[in-house]
Amino acid sequence: MVAVEKSFVTSMFSVEGKVALVTGATGALGCVLSKAYGYAGAKVFMTGRNEAKLKALEEEFKAEGIDCAWFAADPAKEEDVKACIAACVAKYGEVNILAVCHGFNKPASVLDQSVEEWQYIMDADCKSVYIVTKFVAEQMVKQGKGGKMVITTSQRSKRGMAGYTGYCTSKGGADLMVNCLAADLTAKYKINVNSICPTVFRSDLTEWMFDPESQVYKNFLNREPVGRLAEPSDFVGYALFLSSAASDYITGANCDCSGGYLVV
């Protein structure tokens, strides 16, 4: 007898009715994942530092029938994060999914980058992940229903690069943190924690890399078996999968979604 139920198979990718808290919602990836969660039937609570952009996203999403709200907050500031989670719970009653999409980089050689600038990158990309996951985890434990955390890191967590002593270190730390969070939270509290690790995807900051005549673009394609650079929408399926019951047996994973970048 095959031990699988039809009801599970037909609903395992569903996030309908769940409350998804998305950080970095005003960025290229964050706004796409926010809308994707909304299209999939989740209630979306967006956060970022740009209040005007958050308000514009809310108006755009509500016009398409998405149930959403927002709260302006800096993910690296403990009090901001606590207030954001409280606002989400006040609006929707709980948090079921956390999607961490924020990040920052300012490349510079170790010889040129100040300690203060390096620390800012570490705080923005690593310390902030700890703060957000810690307080969302506390909320999820209080609810007693488990939960899903999807943390966006980078393939730069796996390989160094000139000028990236801050970014690579912070993303490597975030991926190791995901492993530890899973060990802390999954077996006891049913909170699955995983990261997705992309390479370059299109955004306002990376648009210049998409010029097919540039050497940067050509160099990347030499390392991308999929044959192109990524669009933010390329990560929607992964995020929804890791947010749904389909991924209940996956935790602590640093998931490669790089177009095969590490293969070559």
Phi, psi of 49, deg, nearest 5 = -95, -15
The two three-digit tokens of residue 211, written as one number: 């010029």
Residue 83 identity (one-letter amino acid): A
Question: Pairing between strand 68-72 and 97-100?
Answer: unpaired
Q: Is there a catalytic annotation at residue 130?
A: no
Whole-number Cα distances in Å, 97 to 48, 139, 162, 264: 16, 11, 35, 34
Question: How many residues are given for the chain?
Answer: 264
Cβ pair 105, 120 in contact under 8 A? no
| Residue in 92, 164, 167, 238 annotated catalytic | 167
Q: How far apart are the first and last CA of the chain?
A: 43
What distance lies between CA 58 and its chain's CA centroid? 19
Cβ pair 38, 68 in contact under 8 A? yes
By annotation, the residues acting in catalysis are 167
